[in-house]
């Protein structure tokens, strides 16, 4: 199912939110995960619930029937600032900048102010931070003009993998965001605290709201006559998504797949204006479209905030009560693999956040070692400077600040004698020399730790169920040093994974944790079995335990196992992945390394497309 959040859907969402939660008060706000906000808003005499997500695969912004489950254990700078500046605030405006896939929430909030004296004579005072009943808000001094007002803007950007949630202050400066974008990630638009917020740069395309038949004719005449008109529209006009383009073509020609040679510029322009009319009228008719199945129980194929004739021609159109309700149905239909309960998903996110923090520490340690290594390279120079001071003791006077000799300028400590200055340089030389000897081993250990954390993070992100995730959580917990008075930890042996069996009886095993990686590689596999791992990225170990080791290997089974190794790696989303294949005898566990960390040699590399077990099961069995 295509991403439903095109310019039309975002406009429909903004209109719906403006009508339901505009001028509402934010009672509660928090994080479901690091990139998803949940909020309770009191507006129009009732509580409304909102979700906004910058998830790369499924960005969201809509109302929910009930308050989403917030992860109170997740603490991030973005989440803390939301609570400080948004909770208790009033939503002044909700709007969509023209032809942008983002919604802007303007929020005003009075700083906490003290209440009146209680009627029972108790003169204690309470904060209005979060009154029990929103209808009693005035009793807490919300309308007290003496309390200063702060203004912030929350931008919800719904742009696929570039989606983001960004909090901006009254001066237009970014306070924090769900995802930071550094100069290394984007040279065009950085999202970092204290930088000015800028809207996404508009593409150099035509504005469909002001297009004339002559504009359309110039574009269509310049296109390849055999090119699909829909593709031409998407490339030439700003804000036209593929579904919108197909609808325009269908209305203009009667066929969504018509080519540029069949186009009539006036008809295309008229259809474009029809499609964009709700942006002005704010009249929406949300529908979901179900596939026409023989059993009458058609799966959801698409959602649209306005009628789409090209979809109605091949699917059953079904009205829904609201834009948010339609989006919820579309999200549920598009969900790939259920991740269990909300709390289970939140546990996954907490683990990933903790590992990311540990990885950042290791990276900083590595950078510090690099700086120390650069200083250690000056060791010989320090020794030479000490020797020059000794050679010229007779020239150095008390309180002298530098010695110039043989083209060298050597700084001196005026509070030390000449001899003590020389000794100081020799001491620095000995420290630098000692550091130079230790730095390579420390740097190697930091690189190994980062590689292990990358492996663990990948395995946690891809863990399919509760048991796999809990095994990885236990592996992560085992890395933490125990308290002095804690009982000795009992290490639980990893569960033996269930293999995939090919038609010849050969077994393919996949490790789903660091401990399982060790198990399949060093316990299950024999020296003549085949070992596979995605090249240069974190992921699972895959082994093929041959039924008759030493005989000719089955290339089809190796290709299928390589596709599994690519699937269970950090490169899963790539179209093609390089996978190293080696005999198990050439794989060695890294001495003193973390679970699942290994080195290998004598490998060959093949390129495959990642594929899950379900897709390969029939291939291996020969069906």
Give, in order, the Cα–Cα distances in Å from 231 to each of 241, 411, 621: 10, 69, 41
- Lowest model confidence (mean pLDDT) among 90-94, 272-276, 362-366: 362-366
Q: What is the CA radius of gyration of the chain?
A: 32
Is 103 in contact with 13 (CB distance < 8 Å)?
yes
Residue ranges per domain, the chain? 7-111+148-177, 208-334, 342-462, 500-621
CA–CA dist 138, 226 (Å, integer): 66
Give the count of beta carbons closer than 10 Å to the beta carbon of residue 558: 20
- At residue 488 the predicted structure's pLDDT band, cuts being 50, 70 and 90, is low
Q: What is the pLDDT at residue 323?
A: 95
Residue 494: pLDDT over 60 = yes
Mean pLDDT of 521-534: 95
Q: What is the pLDDT at residue 206?
A: 93
Q: What is the pLDDT at residue 477?
A: 83
Check whether domain 7-111+148-177 has CATH 2.30.310.10, yes or no? yes
- At residue 308 the predicted structure's pLDDT band, cuts being 50, 70 and 90, is very high
CA–CA dist 143, 140 (Å, integer): 8
Residue 605: pLDDT over 80 = yes
Residue 218 tokens, joined: 């110039």
CA–CA dist 516, 513 (Å, integer): 5
Residue 550: pLDDT over 90 = no
Residue 548: pLDDT over 70 = yes
Give, in order, the Cα–Cα distances in Å from 150 to each of 38, 107, 191: 21, 8, 22
- At residue 280 the predicted structure's pLDDT band, cuts being 50, 70 and 90, is very high
Give, in order, the Cα–Cα distances in Å from 368 to each of 117, 359, 373, 513, 588: 57, 14, 9, 30, 30
Mean pLDDT of 600-608: 94
CA–CA dist 88, 82 (Å, integer): 10
Beta-carbon contacts of 514 under 8 Å, excluding residues fewer than 6 positions away, are 452, 455, 456, 459, 475, 594, 595, 596, 597
Q: What is the pLDDT at residue 483?
A: 56
Q: What is the pLDDT at residue 154?
A: 97
The proportion of the chain whose per-residue pLDDT surpasses 90, expressed as a percent, equals: 47
- At residue 131 the predicted structure's pLDDT band, cuts being 50, 70 and 90, is very low
Q: What is the pLDDT at residue 349?
A: 78
- At residue 623 the predicted structure's pLDDT band, cuts being 50, 70 and 90, is low
Report the mean per-residue pLDDT for the chain.
84
Looking up tokens 């906004």 gives 52
**Long-range pairs, 190-193, Cβ under 8 A, ≥24:** 191/164, 191/166
pLDDT higher for 446 or 144?
Answer: 446
Q: What is the pLDDT at residue 557?
A: 93
Looking up tokens 């990630």 gives 185
Q: What is the pLDDT at residue 560?
A: 93
Mean pLDDT of 49-59: 89
Residue 86 tokens, joined: 């948004």
pLDDT higher for 146 or 266?
Answer: 266
Q: What is the pLDDT at residue 375?
A: 62
Mean pLDDT of 264-276: 93
Residue 370: pLDDT over 80 = no
Q: 488 forms bridges with which residues in the sheet?
A: none
Q: What is the pLDDT at residue 393?
A: 84
Residue 137: pLDDT over 50 = no
- At residue 190 the predicted structure's pLDDT band, cuts being 50, 70 and 90, is very high
What is the reported pTM? Answer: 0.56
Alpha helices in 308-395 (DSSP H): 309-312, 323-334, 342-376, 379-391
Cα Dmax for the chain: 104
Mean pLDDT of 474-501: 74
Phi, psi of 88 (to 5 degrees): 90, -5
The proportion of the chain whose per-residue pLDDT surpasses 70, expressed as a percent, equals: 87
Q: What is the pLDDT at residue 345?
A: 67
Phi, psi of 434 (to 5 degrees): -65, -45
Q: What is the pLDDT at residue 51?
A: 95
CA–CA dist 303, 170 (Å, integer): 36
* Exposure class string for 134-152: b at 16+ Cβ within 10 A, else e: beebeebbbeeeeeeeeeb
Residue 151: pLDDT over 70 = yes
Residue 517: pLDDT over 70 = yes
């Amino acid at each position: 199912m295509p991403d439903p959040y095109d310019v039309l859907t975002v406009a429909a969402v903004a209109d719906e939110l403006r009508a339901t939660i505009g001028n509402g008060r934010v009672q509660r706000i928090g994080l479901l995960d690091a990139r998803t906000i949940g909020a309770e808003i009191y507006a129009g005499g009732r509580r409304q619930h909102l979700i906004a997500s910058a998830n790369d695969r499924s960005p969201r912004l809509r109302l929910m029937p009930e308050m989403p489950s917030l992860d109170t254990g997740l603490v991030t700078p973005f989440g803390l600032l939301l609570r400080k500046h948004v909770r208790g605030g009033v939503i002044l405006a909700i709007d969509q900048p023209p032809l942008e896939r983002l919604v802007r929430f303007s929020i005003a909030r009075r700083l906490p102010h003290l209440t009146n004296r209680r009627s029972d004579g108790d003169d204690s005072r309470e904060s209005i931070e979060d009154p029990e009943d929103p209808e009693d808000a005035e009793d807490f001094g919300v309308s007290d003009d003496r309390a200063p007002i702060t203004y912030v803007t929350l931008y919800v950007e719904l742009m696929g993998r570039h989606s983001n949630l960004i909090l901006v202050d009254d001066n237009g400066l970014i306070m924090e965001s769900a995802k930071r974008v550094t100069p290394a990630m984007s040279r065009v638009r950085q999202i970092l605290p204290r930088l000015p917020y800028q809207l996404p740069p508009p593409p150099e395309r035509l504005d469909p709201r002001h297009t004339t038949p002559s504009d359309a004719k110039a574009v269509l005449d310049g296109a390849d006559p055999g090119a699909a008109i829909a593709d031409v529209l998407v490339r030439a006009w700003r804000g036209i998504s593929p579904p919108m383009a197909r609808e325009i073509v269908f209305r203009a020609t009667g066929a969504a797949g018509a080519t540029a040679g069949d186009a009539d510029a006036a008809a295309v322009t008229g259809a474009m204006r029809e499609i964009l009319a709700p942006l002005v009228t704010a009249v929406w008719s949300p529908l979901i479209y179900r596939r026409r199945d023989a059993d009458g129980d058609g799966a959801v194929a698409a959602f649209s905030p306005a009628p789409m004739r090209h979809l109605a021609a091949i699917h059953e159109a079904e009205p829904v009560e609201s834009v948010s309700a339609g989006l919820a149905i579309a999200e549920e239909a598009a969900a790939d693999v259920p991740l269990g309960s909300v709390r289970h998903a939140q546990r996954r996110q907490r683990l990933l956040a903790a590992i990311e923090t540990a990885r950042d520490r290791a990276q900083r340690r590595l950078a510090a070692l690099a700086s120390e290594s650069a200083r250690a390279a000056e060791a010989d120079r320090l020794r030479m400077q000490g020797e020059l001071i000794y050679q010229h003791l007779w020239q150095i006077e008390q309180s002298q600040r530098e010695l110039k000799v043989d083209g060298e300028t050597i700084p001196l400590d005026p509070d030390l004698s000449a001899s003590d200055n020389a000794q100081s340089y020799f001491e620095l030389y000995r420290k630098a020399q000692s550091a130079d000897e230790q730095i390579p081993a420390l740097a190697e250990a930091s690189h190994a730790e980062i590689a292990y954390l990358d492996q663990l993070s990948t395995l946690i992100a891809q863990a399919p169920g509760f048991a796999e995730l809990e095994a990885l959580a236990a592996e992560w917990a085992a890395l933490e040093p125990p308290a002095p008075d804690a009982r000795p930890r009992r290490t639980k042996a990893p569960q033996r994974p269930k293999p995939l069996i090919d038609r010849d009886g050969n077994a393919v095993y996949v490790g789903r944790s660091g401990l399982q990686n060790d198990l399949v590689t060093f316990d299950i596999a024999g020296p003549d079995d085949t070992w596979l791992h995605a090249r240069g990225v974190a992921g699972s170990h895959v082994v093929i335990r041959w039924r008759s080791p030493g005989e000719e290997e089955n290339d089809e089974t190796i290709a299928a196992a390589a596709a599994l190794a690519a699937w269970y790696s950090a490169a899963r989303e790539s179209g093609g992945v390089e996978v190293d294949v080696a005999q198990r005898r050439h794989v060695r566990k890294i001495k003193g390394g973390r679970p699942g960390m290994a080195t290998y040699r004598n490998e060959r590399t093949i390129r495959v497309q990642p594929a899950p077990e379900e897709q390969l099961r029939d291939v291996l069995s020969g069906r």
